[in-house]
Amino acid sequence: MPMTTEKAQITLPTDREVKVTRSFKAARPLVYRAYTEPALVQRWVLGPPGWSMPVCEMDVRVGGRYRWRWRSDTDGSEFGFAGTFREVTPPSRLVHTEAYDPGTVGYAYPQSEALVSVTFTQDSGITTVTTLIDYGSKDARDAAVATGMTDGMEQSYQLLDALVSEHA
């Protein structure tokens, strides 16, 4: 069923950060569950097409660890992310560190640890999720965005519109 919510918006609030905003047609506790229950997370944080997520372990409490790993369907190579939860406030906020695990893929992604703050706000049945990622440095941020686990060069002018029409 097509959703009427807006598509993901990306902004660059500072040199080191990326902010991702997206709204969902669901109550906040439900969205929070989809972010914190491994069986649910595994179904949508899939990575690029042709990759599965065989490892999704999450101990969602302050100081608890999580480990995500993706595997290529074609050659079995793996990479992942891991980190520690710093703030757990259901159903409104999650803060965790995020370190790249090169696995067997090998390429060097940002070595430094990123800090990811996820905020859930609700307004008349729509939950907006704001993800602020502080990559620690501009180089790490740019590398992460340039690598962007992605499925090709789909070009859209939505962002251009957003940037330009913001003050038009």
For the bound state, the minimum distance from the C-beta of residue 80 to another protein, rounded and expressed in Å, comes to 15
For the bound state, the minimum distance from the C-beta of residue 63 to another protein, rounded and expressed in Å, comes to 26
Q: Please, which residue, 12 or 62, has the CB nearer to another protein?
A: 12
CA 10 to chain centre: 11
For the bound state, the minimum distance from the C-beta of residue 108 to another protein, rounded and expressed in Å, comes to 13
Q: Please, which residue, 62 or 159, has the CB nearer to another protein?
A: 159
Q: Please, which residue, 8 or 62, has the CB nearer to another protein?
A: 8
Per CB under 8 A, residues contacting another protein are 1, 3, 5, 7-10, 12, 18, 20, 22, 24-27, 30-31, 33-34, 40, 43-46, 48-49, 142-146, 148-160, 163-168
